[in-house]
A and B are shown apart, each in its own frame.
Chain A
Amino acid sequence: MKELSLNILDVAENSVKAGATLTQILLDEEDGILTLQIVDDGCGMSEDVVHSVVDPFYTTRTTRKVGMGIPLLKLACEQTGGELSIESVTAEANPVEHGTHVTATFNMNHIDFTPLGDVCASVLTLIQGHPDTDFLFEHKKSGGVVELDTRKLREVLEDVPLNSYDVMEWIRVYLQEQYEALS
């Protein structure tokens, strides 16, 4: 994809589809290496399924026979010399602690590094589409950290839906101001 943020959106949508109550999107930039983690507490995948999701001919969708989310993320990190790994625990194997943990590393100085793009827009899109599930977004850069935790927002907002216009606009500005404070 032209921007990693679109890839992040695609993979995080899988977490929501897996029934996650909390999906964490964690970005960490250090010494020219970007580490992306997408961690959820969804239903998890068996070992066989974990192996097959990196295969583009595997998908849980019924409308087409090809699923490109993870394969394109794998390509994007491997073409910079990075790597992708997936760990997953199914709800059957562990009813208490289950879920999926996707880790992708990127060499940001590699000429084929895909720009991160508008990751705030991806986070907003996720909240807009899934106001009843929680998201933790964290982006560590050399100058500090950008953070958003919808669980904390929910405590303050009580019954106001997260995807109401005013809340979405507040989140957008909140993230933007944190990024501006870093640069």
Chain B
Amino acid sequence: MKVADLLAHGFRALSLPDGDREIDGVYIGDLLSWVMGRAQMDNAWITIMTNVNVIAVASLADTSCVILAEGAVMPDDLVKTAKEKDINVLVSDEPIYETALALAGLVS
């Protein structure tokens, strides 16, 4: 499953510089230092955090995309930073659990 394929399943794209990136697995977490050491490369990462450090952690952990659950709003300047740093950021209006369930049916 590619990141861009999620757009057909209720996810919205805020930043999609690399929509062809494959998703391999899912990680969920909001404590950034924790995520930094545990999210695996190519995971889709679900969080409700929207500060600049999220983009940095996604870059460090090399996740395939950040998915902001609960319709969490990322400020425009950070969306710009995400694009500059080649980080895919999507939004789901569902709560974290439902977002994970939706991904479970799509991601191997």
Contacts and interface: CB of A to CB of B under 8 A. Distances in A.
A23 to B, nearest CB: 22
B56 A68 contact: yes
Contacts of A57: 56, 59, 85
Contacts of A6: 33
Interface in B14-37: 31-34, 36
A71 interface: yes
A76 to B, nearest CB: 10
Contacts of A56: 52-53, 55-56
A2 B52 contact: no
B31 A66 contact: no
A72 B34 contact: no
A121 B36 CA distance: 22
Contacts of A2: 31, 33-34
B60 interface: yes
Interface in B62-104: 85
Interface string A49-66: 000000111000000111
A1 B36 CA distance: 10
A75 interface: yes
Given A2-B33, A75-B32, A65 B59 contact: yes
A72 B60 contact: no
A55 B51 CA distance: 11
Nearest to A58: B56
A66 B51 CA distance: 15
A66 B61 CA distance: 11
Nearest to B59: A66
A57 B34 CA distance: 18
B56 A66 contact: yes
A148 B51 CA distance: 36
Interface in A68-101: 68, 71-72, 75
Interface of B: 31-34, 36, 51-53, 55-57, 59-60, 85
25 contacts: A1-B33, A2-B31, A2-B33, A2-B34, A6-B33, A55-B52, A56-B53, A56-B55, A56-B56, A57-B59, A57-B85, A64-B60, A65-B59, A66-B57, A66-B59, A66-B60, A68-B33, A68-B36, A68-B56, A68-B57, A71-B53, A72-B32, A72-B33, A75-B32, A75-B51
Interface of A: 1-2, 6, 55-57, 64-66, 68, 71-72, 75
Given A56-B53, A65-B59, A68-B57, 13 more contacts: A2-B34, A55-B52, A56-B52, A56-B56, A64-B60, A66-B57, A66-B59, A66-B60, A68-B33, A68-B56, A68-B60, A75-B51, A75-B53
